[in-house]
Each structure stands twice: as structure tokens, then as C-alpha cells.
Amino acid sequence: AIINRYGFNNDGIEAVTKRLNAQHRKRMPELVPDNSNNRVKNGGRAGSGILGVNIGKNKTTEDAAADYVKGVHALSQFADYL
């Protein structure tokens, strides 16, 4: 494991949530119509496997604990593990 106590440069939870939501819809076969051009191998899922999400505090945060809580609440719905 790598421990980073300096924070991460990132696009923020809102941007990551939008990207993961779009990817999640591709991964869920029941949300992709049978006649869609988006269907790919693996039973209509855009990707197979397990999705893990790493959560870290923002580089400029003043409240790291709140960043972690916000990240867990916003992103856990898309992840198989955090």
C-alpha cells in the first residue's frame, strides 16, 4: 500500500460521480436495451470484473475526515469495494 498524506489532485467528487454513473450504466446489462449499439461481449456489460474505488482527501482540504465521509457516501454506490 502507498500512503499519501499530502492529498491528491483530482476533479472532485461531483465529476468522478458523473463518470462512474455513466460507466455503471454501461456495466449493468439490464439497463442496456437489446438493440443498443453499446452492447459488447460479456453479456452486454461494458466491462467484466470488479470495480474498486480509492478514496482520498483533497489536497487543499481543511477537514480530511469530512472528505472521506463525503467520498464514501457519494461513490460507494458504484463500487464493489472501497
Any idea which of 4-8, 17-21, 37-41, 52-56 has the lowest mean pLDDT? 37-41
Of 56, 75, 54, which is closest to residue 7 (Cα–Cα)? 56
Tell me how far apart the alpha carbons of residues 58 and 33 are, in angstroms, rounded to a whole number.
38
Domain boundaries, the chain: 13-35+43-78
Distance of CA 60 to the CA centre of its chain: 21
pTM, two decimal places:
0.63
pLDDT of residue 34: 54
Is it the case that residue 4 has pLDDT exceeding 50? yes
Q: What is residue 12's DSSP assignment?
A: -
pLDDT tens digits along 48-66 = 678 899 888 777 888 989 9
Of 29, 8, 19, which is closest to residue 75 (Cα–Cα)? 19
Any idea which of 1-10, 38-47, 52-61 has the lowest mean pLDDT? 38-47
